[in-house]
Amino acid sequence: MELNRRILITGANGALGLCLARYFLERDAACHVFLGVRERRDRAEALVADFSDRAFLCPLEITSAEAWAAAVAQIEAESGGPVNVLINNAGYHDDALLASMTQAQWSGVIEGNLSSVFLGCQSVMKPMMQQRWGRIVNVASLSALHSPAGQTNYAAAKAGVIGLTQSLAKETARLGITVNVICPGHIEGALPANWTEEQIKAVKRDTPMRRFARPEEIAAVVFFLASAEASYMTGAALKLDGALV
């Protein structure tokens, strides 16, 4: 099939989201990429300026059903068709030991990493079903599979994304819609701001590859999962961690 991908990437001003957007734009001259942004927009704006005919900013607060409805309507109006590739990349963590975690920390992380993925998938589902084609790639984390202390909220949310992905993949398997999830370990250029040089060295020492992922190495996997060729791959949860686990 000739593929005219209309790709929505959430959190596209962030480290991984921006790399994903650039990766698609540089490798698929026919695709249109919509960069989901919330507050920070500077880097996404610069990329849109470089690819002004095929890249567009898309204001999107991922925890709001109304914002999702507005975003998918904007994309359909601007590109002549509905979103057919959704990359649920936006997310954040707010770590604390469970004993002292506030309810706001718990529910904020669940809303911003899990409920947001539900809203995103639901907002694109009917058009994808009508077209009988679609690709959804969810970004979870290695924390879902190998959960560190201090991340009960984030680990639960990202594990929930894996469960959501695998259940939805079964619902859409006969409709040409694939749904997969990636579980990256640490990504170069996107490490927690409070890590010391010593901590960084220690984690690298524990990683069999002795280094973190380059964002492009994660983007390459997402690019494949979002392709027509990845047609038999659905419900997969891929760990991208340099064999850390």
Ligand X SMILES: NC(=O)c1ccc[n+]([C@@H]2O[C@H](COP(=O)([O-])OP(=O)(O)OC[C@H]3O[C@@H](n4cnc5c(N)ncnc54)[C@H](OP(=O)(O)O)[C@@H]3O)[C@@H](O)[C@H]2O)c1
- Radius of gyration, CA atoms only, the chain: 17
Minimum distance from CB of 141 to ligand X (Å)? Answer: 4
| Residue nearer to ligand X on the CB measure, 62 or 125 | 62
Give the nearer residue to ligand X in terms of CB position, either 92 or 224: 92
Based on the shown chain and the rule CB under 6 A, indicate whether residue 120 belongs to the binding site for ligand X: no
Q: What is the DSSP letter of 191?
A: -
- Which 2-31 positions form the footprint of ligand X (CB under 6 A)? 10-11, 13-17
Please give the Cα distance from 17 to 215 (Å, whole number). 9
Least Cβ distance, residue 190 to ligand X (angstroms): 3
Site string for ligand X, 162-201 (x = CB under 6 A): ----------------------x-xx--x-----------
Contact string 29-48 vs ligand X (x = CB under 6 A): ---------xxx--------
Please count the helices (runs of H) and the strands (runs of E) in the chain: 8, 7
Q: Which two structure tokens, joined as six digits, stand for 183?
A: 């579980």
Residue 141 near ligand X by CB under 6 A: yes
Q: Give the catalytic positions in this structure.
A: 154
Structure tokens at 171: 């619902």
CA distances to 30, 122, 137, 166, 237 from 163, rounded to whole Å, are 33, 15, 13, 5, 9
138 touching ligand X, by CB under 6 A: no
**Residue 2: CB minimum distance to ligand X, A:** 31
16 or 121: CB nearest ligand X: 16
H or E stretch covering 126: helix 116-131
Which residues 74-103 are close enough to bind ligand X by CB under 6 A?
89-92
Compute the distance between CA of residue 63 and CA of residue 115 in angstroms, rounded to an integer: 7
Alpha helices in 139-236 (DSSP H): 152-172, 197-206, 215-225
Contact status, residue 166 vs residue 238, Cβ threshold 8 Å? no
Q: Name the site residues for ligand X (rule: CB under 6 A).
A: 10-11, 13-17, 38-40, 60-63, 89-92, 112, 139, 141, 184, 186-187, 190
